[in-house]
């Protein structure tokens, strides 16, 4: 092999080494980010930022009166999509107690810290896939705890679609909770006129930006009879999916200054 060939091959040989170094660095950063102190500091920073963003929004004319709706239906199950949950603390009546269902993953620790600083209790688990939740993520225990809290007069904020599943497709968990508790599901959405959508995330996470307008949309309550059959549950699941998406489209239209579609 000539000296030129050796020089050309050197970068090739260095690639696996650089890849290993990059992987080790990523693991080190991930491990550091999950340290309790780091999570507490990050949670506080996100809370302060969201509180500032919320205070910098102007309400949009035509938004639903979320305080009146949720007070009248209390305790209710407020349903919304993944990726659009960052505004949830801003359409909760402060005089009513609420709990939020969050996943049991380590990454959700920061979310829990943020939610609890807004005065909202948290229950950890997965309420989307009922069978998987019961076997792997403590979802069955979470649903039982949420039912107990609903019975005691605490409202529930629940993201309806399943993490890493099909975005904007409600799971059976929220329908099961409504059946067990007898409490209504309130399909809901909020949107700001100034926002950034992270297109590469599975749920197209939306980051609200300050100095915009915020709109809130809520669809009529959906009740799940206690004697609902599996076919009934599937039908209602599809109904919940359609209703949250209607609320989402209406909130976006209001925030963007467009005429929302007529309610069906």
* CA distance linking residue 191 with residue 214, whole number of Å: 6
Neighbours of 200 (CB within 10 A): 7
Query: 126 with 25, same domain?
Result: no
Separation in Å, CA 186 to CA 171, 178, 260: 15, 10, 19
Separation in Å, CA 136 to CA 82, 126, 129, 243: 20, 9, 10, 29
| Whether the Cβ atoms of residue 100 and residue 122 lie closer than 8 Å to each other | yes
CATH number at residue 180: 3.40.1130
User: Is 260 inside any structural domain?
Assistant: no
Query: 96 with 22, same domain?
Result: no
Instruction: Give 131's pLDDT tier (boundaries 50, 70, 90).
Output: very low
What is the reported pLDDT for 192?
97
User: Is 165 inside any structural domain?
Assistant: yes
Query: 127 with 187, same domain?
Result: yes
Separation in Å, CA 256 to CA 52, 151, 184, 189, 249: 21, 38, 29, 14, 11
Query: 73 with 193, same domain?
Result: yes
Q: Which pTM value belongs to this model?
A: 0.83
| The pair of three-digit structure tokens given for residue 242, joined into one six-digit string | 């359609």
Residue-wise DSSP of 154-188 = -EEEEE-BPTTS-TT-B-HHHHHHHHHH-PPEEEE
User: Is 103 inside any structural domain?
Assistant: yes
| The pair of three-digit structure tokens given for residue 72, joined into one six-digit string | 């009248």
Side-by-side strand order, sheet with 77-80? 58-59, 213-218, 185-192, 77-80, 155-159, 98-102, 121-124
Residue 13: domain span: 3-33
User: Is 263 inside any structural domain?
Assistant: no
Q: Tell me: pLDDT of 98 over 90.
A: yes
Question: What residues have CB less than 8 Å from 121, skipping those under 6 apart?
Answer: 97, 98, 99, 100, 149, 154
Query: 101 with 16, same domain?
Result: no
Give the mean pLDDT of 214-228. 98
Chain centre to alpha carbon of residue 120 = 14
User: Is 169 inside any structural domain?
Assistant: yes
* CA distance linking residue 103 with residue 171, whole number of Å: 14
Query: 19 with 65, same domain?
Result: no
Give the residue, 37 or 241, on which the prediction is more confident.
241
List, for residues 54-68, the tens digit of each pLDDT value.
999 999 999 999 999
Q: Count of domains in the chain?
A: 2
What is the reported pLDDT for 134?
40
Query: 180 with 213, same domain?
Result: yes
Query: 103 with 214, same domain?
Result: yes
The pLDDT > 70 percentage for the chain reads: 81
Question: What residues have CB less than 8 Å from 140, skipping those under 6 apart?
Answer: 130, 133, 134
Query: 17 with 137, same domain?
Result: no
Query: 92 with 203, same domain?
Result: yes
Query: 25 with 76, same domain?
Result: no
List, for residues 160-175, the tens digit of each pLDDT value.
988 767 889 999 999 9
Query: 121 with 175, same domain?
Result: yes
192: exposed, middle or buried (Cβ count in 10 Å: 0-12, 13-18, 19+): buried
User: Is 100 inside any structural domain?
Assistant: yes
């Amino acid at each position: 092999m000539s000296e030129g060939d050796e020089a050309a091959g050197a970068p090739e040989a260095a690639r696996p080494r650089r890849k290993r170094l990059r992987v080790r660095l990523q693991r080190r950063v991930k491990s550091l980010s999950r340290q309790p102190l780091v999570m507490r500091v990050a949670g506080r920073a996100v809370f302060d930022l969201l509180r500032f963003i919320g205070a910098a929004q102007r309400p949009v004319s035509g938004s639903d009166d979320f305080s009146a709706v949720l007070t009248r239906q209390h305790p209710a199950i407020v349903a919304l999509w993944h990726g659009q949950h960052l505004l949830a603390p801003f359409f909760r009546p402060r005089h009513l107690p609420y709990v939020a269902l969050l996943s049991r993953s380590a990454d959700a620790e920061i979310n829990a810290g943020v939610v609890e600083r807004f005065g909202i209790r948290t229950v950890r688990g997965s309420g989307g896939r009922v069978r998987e939740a019961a076997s792997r993520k403590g979802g069955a225990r979470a649903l039982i705890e949420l039912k107990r809290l609903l019975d005691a007069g605490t409202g529930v904020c629940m993201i309806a679609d399943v993490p890493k599943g099909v975005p904007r497709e409600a799971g059976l968990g929220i329908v099961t909770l409504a059946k067990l508790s007898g409490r209504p599901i309130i399909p809901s959405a909020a949107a700001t006129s100034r926002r950034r959508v992270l297109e590469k995330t599975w749920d197209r996470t939306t980051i609200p930006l300050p100095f915009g307008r915020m709109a809130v949309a809520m669809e009529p309550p959906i009740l799940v009879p206690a004697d609902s059959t599996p076919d009934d549950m599937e039908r209602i699941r599809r109904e919940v999916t359609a209703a949250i998406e209607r609320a989402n489209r209406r909130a976006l239209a209001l925030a963007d200054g467009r005429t929302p579609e007529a309610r069906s």
